[in-house]
Amino acid sequence: MTPGHRWWTARRPDGEELDDGEGERAGAGGARGAAYPARRWVLVSVALAVFCVQLDAFALNLALPRIGADLGADLGADLGADLGAGLGAGTATGTDGTRWVVSGYLLAAGSLMMGAGRLGDLLGRRRMVLLGLALFAVASAGCALALTLPMLVAARVAQGAGGALLMPCALAWLTSAYPAELRGRATGWALGLGGVATACGPFVGGALTQAVSWRAIFWLNVPLAGCAALAALAAPGGSSGGGGRGVRHRRSWRGGWGRWGRQRQRGSRSGRGPHDRRASRDLPGRRGGVGPRGRLDWPGLVTGTTALAGLALLADRGQAWGWLSGASVATLVGCGAALAAFVRREYTALDPLVDLALFRNGRYVALTGSGAVANAATVVFLFVVPLTLQGPWGLSAGAAGGAFLAPATAMAVAGVVAGRVRPPLAVAVMAGCLAAGAVTLCAVAVAGTLPLYLLAATATGATLGLANALTLTATQAVIHPDRAGEASGITKTVITVAAGVGVVLAGPAASQAAADRALLLAAVACGVACGVLLAWRCVLPNRG
């Protein structure tokens, strides 16, 4: 290799090749913002997409009673009774059918995100974002026009599928559009807006339901998704998987074109053993290569989606069925079988859906696991605090929404701050967030006056908001941009399943004592996760 030789060829959005100096600066993931301000449209599109998905995940909680009254059906009890009778689970669950309005969305989103991230790497992230926005908007209109509960649940499942396409592909597109030193800040701004939607979603949904109709919640998504799509269309050419906008790489994320890479290529073609065959994945145009030349692993997609859907279903319905019931045991066994088939497939496939080597990245695994705990604790917090403000503290819905603005603002600001955390410090900052979150959750549970309660809730919103945003920003920073969609899909899948666990923990919190127990259990989980993270840092300091 000659001095100054580049492994890639960079071009401006108009197709003109950059000179050496410009090309080196663009190689980090695109041209600088000062030279190409149109890149900011990517941030606008991603931020609006994240806002739509997060708002819709939390805005329906206070609207469910009105939905049940208007549509007059009990789909959930019927499904639970049928499944329970078929598998010996006993009597009907008795759960109101409107719960499937939320469950259907979460099941679809949680089970499809992993495959969606890989599709973005293969087919182009902007293309998948536009497809996700179109599906999300059409499904939202279908929800608003639904005349029966089954129609609404079906539209919500389609909406969850659109959200599954949006989240991993949007975050990966944002990662590839910005150079390394600006990626964290851009992602932080997008996640900060998503934090506002997460925290304010229940109150926005309640206000729209009371002032207009629950259908207005879904109509709100249509113009927001339209604006996000227009911003995506205004952005310069989208990424086709790796290298970022305007950059075409010519080497893989692990391999190379050198003598070692050529030897691996010859060995793979000679068919000498499974490891030699798997080595061909590292060549450009194969699994490790850049661009749309790879193939989608359909067997892996089917088995992985089946395992995730079963796990999400068990987390959502296990308590209603009974954790030791026939339905729960059968679902768990099915998940285990599908997961075993998925792992075996991914280990032997030339173009796997998930590269298992990703899980040898210690920082990625540590941040994803601890972020899952933080997300579960956040769901408990967002479920318990609004109900407590309106229950024991006696605030009206409007007053409770105003009081919750402080925690919501803290979560939004935390998302922006997370983008400024340097990757080498991410694990240490995450451990600090978990420790602080454990303390503040305990403070929320034992606060004796409303000002102290709101102060503790604001601190909790800041710490957990920072942990959640850091999960997404830091995991994107510790992996190669070529595989950003795949990694983002896995991370979002894990934390979405963790959100289902948080719903299970918060579900029984009908009384103040139960709500306090849920908060304390979430605090214990954060403390344990912090301890495990610190122990991992001490045992394997070079990997943290």
CATH number, domain with residue 77: 1.20.1250.20
Token couple for 22: 């410009």
Supply the pLDDT for residue 54: 84
Could you tell me if residue 294 is inside a domain?
A: no
C-alpha dihedral (319, 320, 324, 326), degrees to nearest 10: -140
CB 443 within 8 A of CB 381: no
Helices (H), 38-74: 40-58, 64-71
Residues 6+ apart with CB under 8 A from 373: 434, 498, 525, 526, 528, 529
Q: Residue 170: in which H helix or E strand, if any? A: helix 149-177
DSSP E strands: which ranges in 157-310? 247-249
Helices (H), 178-214: 180-211
Supply the pLDDT for residue 387: 77
**97 and 234 share one domain:** yes
What DSSP state is assigned to residue 420?
Answer: T
CA nearest neighbour of 470 among 243, 195, 201, 239: 195
Which of 86-90, 248-252, 486-490 is the most confident on average?
486-490
**538 and 402 share one domain:** yes
Over residues 148-169, mean pLDDT: 90
Token couple for 462: 């800041």
**243 and 375 share one domain:** no
Percent of the chain with pLDDT over 90: 20
**382 and 235 share one domain:** no
Residues 6+ apart with CB under 8 A from 475: 364, 367, 368, 371, 487, 488, 491
Residue 239 pLDDT more than 50?
Answer: no
Could you tell me if residue 83 is inside a domain?
A: yes
| Chain centre distance of CA 415 | 14
- Among 249, 276, 299, the domain boundary falls at 249
Residue owning tokens 């979405």: 496
**Calpha distance 496→374 (Å, rounded):** 11
Could you tell me if residue 62 is inside a domain?
A: yes
The DSSP bridge partners found for residue 9 are 248
- Among 213, 228, 249, the domain boundary falls at 249
Could you tell me if residue 311 is inside a domain?
A: no
Token couple for 198: 């997460």
**Calpha distance 179→240 (Å, rounded):** 16
The DSSP bridge partners found for residue 78 are none
**Calpha distance 112→102 (Å, rounded):** 16
**Calpha distance 29→104 (Å, rounded):** 37
**Calpha distance 163→489 (Å, rounded):** 12
Average pLDDT value for the chain: 74
- Among 222, 249, 276, the domain boundary falls at 249
CB 367 within 8 A of CB 478: yes
Supply the pLDDT for residue 96: 53
Residue 41 pLDDT more than 60?
Answer: yes
Could you tell me if residue 203 is inside a domain?
A: yes
Let me know if 538 is exposed, middle or buried by CB neighbors in 10 A (0-12, 13-18, 19+): exposed
Residue 280 pLDDT more than 60?
Answer: no
Could you tell me if residue 472 is inside a domain?
A: yes
Based on the structure, what is the number of domains in the chain? 2
The number of beta carbons lying within 10 Å of the beta carbon of residue 87 is: 16
- 199-222: per-residue pLDDT in tens? 778 778 878 888 888 999 999 999
Confidence of residue 284 (pLDDT cuts 50, 70, 90): very low
Q: Domain span at residue 87?
A: 31-249
DSSP E strands: which ranges in 171-275? 247-249
* pTM across the whole model: 0.70
**544 and 406 share one domain:** yes
Q: Residue 9: in which H helix or E strand, if any? A: strand 8-10
The DSSP bridge partners found for residue 10 are 247
**Calpha distance 156→152 (Å, rounded):** 6
Q: How far is CA 451 from CA 406, 414, 514, in A?
A: 12, 21, 22
Question: How would you classify the pairing of strands 8-10 and 247-249?
Answer: antiparallel
Residues 6+ apart with CB under 8 A from 111: 164, 305, 308, 309, 312, 493
- 357-393: per-residue pLDDT in tens? 778 888 888 888 999 999 889 888 988 888 788 778 8
Residue 193 pLDDT more than 90?
Answer: no
CB 307 within 8 A of CB 339: yes
Which of 395-399, 433-437, 532-536 is the most confident on average?
433-437
Q: Is 11 helix (H, G, I), strand (E, B) or coil?
A: strand
Task: At 249, give phi and psi (nearest 5°).
Answer: -85, 160
**Calpha distance 20→10 (Å, rounded):** 9
- Which of the pair, 63 or 147, is modelled with greater confidence? 147
Over residues 20-31, mean pLDDT: 38
Let me know if 3 is exposed, middle or buried by CB neighbors in 10 A (0-12, 13-18, 19+): exposed
Residue 114 pLDDT more than 60?
Answer: yes
**Calpha distance 66→230 (Å, rounded):** 33
Residue owning tokens 């998940």: 335
CB 126 within 8 A of CB 295: no
Could you tell me if residue 107 is inside a domain?
A: yes
Q: Long-range CB contacts (< 8 A, 24+ apart) of 389-397?
A: 391/512, 392/512, 393/450, 393/453, 397/62, 397/203, 397/206, 397/207, 397/210
**Most distant pair of Cα atoms in the chain: their distance:** 74
Task: At 10, give phi and psi (nearest 5°).
Answer: -105, 145
CA angle, residues 108, 110, 111, in degrees to nearest 5: 70
**362 and 227 share one domain:** no
Q: Is 86 helix (H, G, I), strand (E, B) or coil?
A: helix
**366 and 241 share one domain:** no
Residue 72 pLDDT more than 90?
Answer: no
Could you tell me if residue 377 is inside a domain?
A: yes
Which of 9-18, 24-33, 235-244, 513-522 is the most confident on average?
513-522
